Amino acid sequence: MSEAANTLVECRGLTRVYQDDAVPVKALAGVDLDVHEGEFISLAGPSGSGKSTLLNCIGGLDRPSGGSVHVDGVALESLSSSELSDLRLEKIGFVFQSYNLIPVLSARENVEFIMQLQGVAAVERRHRALAMLDSLGIGELAERRPGELSGGQQQRVAVARSIVTHPRLLLADEPSANLDSHTTAELLELLDSINRDQGMTIITATHDPAVMAYARRRIRLVDGQIVSDERAEVEAV
């Protein structure tokens, strides 16, 4: 990674404390992290290490107890809930292990949903949604609802929805958790292509060694702290 690369995410002294039966649990314990544009990062660590919490704080889904998070130069702690929603809408895409698709909408309508919130005209968002689904190999399933799709197909719809607006940052929480090895490989090849060809910054939280293998920067957390941060130029396998 070039030193001249722009910093897209900056975390300083990040802490997150939860109350569990009145007992404080420190999920993050003073995390410092810089993420540059175009990086593909995996956050790894045992359950309870803080990787999903860190991802959620970066995405503005969870507010830290202390410290700061800047995304594209904007201090998230200074934003109201509605301003955070606007930031996510314009700059951040999310892929969740549970897909988070709207069950009463078709695949196409799910992909269109974010564009509808952005005020994209109906004809344009339909065209973009169909083109995106087609590029992911599921164009023929555009009018099916999530319940009529396999797990791998639902994950592709979720990815299509998250990238169709070309966000600056893509956050993926355990994206391979519900997928078989073949579908996982296809998903990772897709994410790798998005990162390499479009320069989209990707951060994943994962237990899966296959996901880590695709990342060119691998960060490990234990007890809410970064214990290793390694960069490697790797070719996807």
User: Is 1 a domain residue?
Assistant: no
Which ranges of 71-221 does DSSP label H, i.e. alpha helix? 81-91, 107-117, 122-135, 151-163, 181-198, 209-214
User: Is 60 a domain residue?
Assistant: yes
Tens of pLDDT, residue by residue over 151-179, are: 889 988 998 999 899 899 999 998 888 77
Residue 56: phi, psi to the nearest 5?
-70, -35
User: Is 184 a domain residue?
Assistant: yes
**How many domains are there within the chain?**
1
Q: Which domain holds residue 84?
A: 7-231
Tens of pLDDT, residue by residue over 174-210, are: 888 877 888 888 888 888 988 998 899 999 999 899 9
Query: The domain spanning residue 161 has which CATH number?
Result: 3.40.50.300
Answer yes or no: are the C-beta atoms of 44 and 68 closer than 8 Å: no
Instruction: Give pTM, 2 decimals.
Output: 0.89
